[in-house]
């Protein structure tokens, strides 16, 4: 594999990802290896939940304990119509 090889020739990169990379100006393997993002977020440190507003972005880590799905009236109405058509 040469660094000048176009990414389109690599079959392990999906087409949507190729298009996204092309928008960033990354078309060859060398471009991919030398690309540096504009910003970096350190996701190794999780500060405590902020007590007041701030313009500084932070990374929080938590655990989902309970979830539920609430259907709106429109969804229930469509479901009822489908069931009534079946009978």
Give the number of other Cβ atoms within 10 Å of residue 13's Cβ: 14
pLDDT digits (tens, 9 = 90+) for 44-83: 777 777 788 888 877 777 888 988 776 666 666 665 555 5
- What is the pLDDT confidence band of residue 22, given thresholds at 50, 70 and 90? very high
**Would you state the pLDDT for residue 85?**
55
pTM summary value: 0.44
DSSP string for residues in 18-83:
HHHHHHTT--BHHHHHT---S-----S--PPPPSS--SS----------------HHHHHHHHHHH
């Amino acid at each position: 594999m040469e660094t000048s090889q176009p990414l389109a020739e690599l079959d392990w990169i999906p087409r949507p990802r190729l298009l996204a990379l092309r928008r960033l100006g990354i078309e060859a393997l060398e471009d991919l290896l030398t690309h540096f993002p504009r910003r970096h977020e350190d996701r190794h440190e999780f500060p405590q939940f902020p007590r007041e507003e701030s313009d500084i972005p932070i990374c929080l880590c938590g655990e989902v304990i309970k979830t539920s799905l609430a259907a709106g009236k429109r969804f229930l109405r469509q479901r009822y119509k489908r069931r009534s058509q079946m009978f």
